[in-house]
Amino acid sequence: MAQNIPRKVTLRQLRGMKARHEPIVALGVYDSPMAAWADALGFEMFIIGNSGPMSLFGHRSSTTVKPQELLFMTQAVSRVTQSALIVATMPYMSYCASREESVRTAAWLVAEGGADGVQCHGNRHTAPFIAAIVNAGIPVLAHLGLQSVRKTEQSGYGVKGRDAAEAEKIVADASALVEAGAFAILLELVPEEITKYLSSRLDVPVLSLGSGLEGDGVYLVSADLTGYSVARKPSTAGDFIDVRPIIEGALHSYLLKARKRAYPHPSLSRHMSAEEMKRFRSLIQDRSGASARKKRGRRTGGTRP
């Protein structure tokens, strides 16, 4: 019987879903268990973003996330993923200096990490570098709106594009990045009106992260979705589940039982047979006798040549 191998999500498939008004569902994943479970459910896209090292490694800013951390997370996801399109985030400032560095870093995430494409927090000024990545044959997901690597420039993590001038800038940046070859646009924390405007005017899918229902799909970080993070759960994460109380309860129960010597339970212990125990004692006695003779020899000088 032929094995039923899941088909890999393609860029053509994503464009087709947009044309048919079928919602694309993307998930931020950073480890093998989450990727394996989610891939079996049928998500279209996995994104390995800076929120992974921030949630799981304790980074307070995405600008301090190391390239190797993104690589290791991408490898963990790609090893177990069969269907979802894997998009790895480009490290901070790795696509802002030169076309050569941009292509080299993107190729590194594909060749070493197993990614299918990369994500860039771009704008019209970085569009030429993003175009170079696309021209090299590596798909690019462009991230607009709230850009964590530009926290200081953007005056924090609030909603972006509420005033007309800022909204127009987001639209202009999106158009430049699509012209550069981006296969999709991810909008984080922008007004729903901007999401609807871009989704209706751009040929590529527009995904919403806290940016309303009017896009071609949605994106949510698994650490936010589940509450498994050192950071506070954002209001945009929705009310799915919070595993923190569950895990804390299990940890507390283990701690108390271990303190009272109630864990491990006797039923969990493993034992030697009586025959092997007898052989063990004999071996230990022989070892102890040999050690004692060696010590006496050193004291009397008997071990010297």
d(CA 42, CA 83): 7
Alpha helices in the chain (DSSP H): 11-19, 32-41, 51-56, 67-78, 99-111, 127-135, 164-180, 192-201, 222-226, 244-259, 274-300
Residue whose C-alpha is closest to residue 85's, from 59, 51, 117: 117
| Residue whose pair of structure tokens reads 């060749």 in the numeric block | 111
d(CA 271, CA 292): 29
Cβ neighbourhood burial of 153 (10 Å; 0-12, 13-18, 19+): exposed
d(CA 277, CA 282): 9
The reply to whether 44 belongs to the active site is: no
Pairing mode, strands 140-145 and 184-188: parallel
Q: Which amino acid does the sequence have at 300?
A: T
d(CA 46, CA 25): 9
d(CA 283, CA 305): 29
Residue whose C-alpha is closest to residue 89's, from 123, 140, 44: 140
Cis peptide before 264 (omega within 30 of 0): yes
From the candidates 44, 188, 192, 214, give the one annotated as an active-site residue: 188
Residue whose C-alpha is closest to residue 9's, from 47, 48, 45, 41: 45
d(CA 305, CA 294): 14
Point out the residues that are catalytic: 188
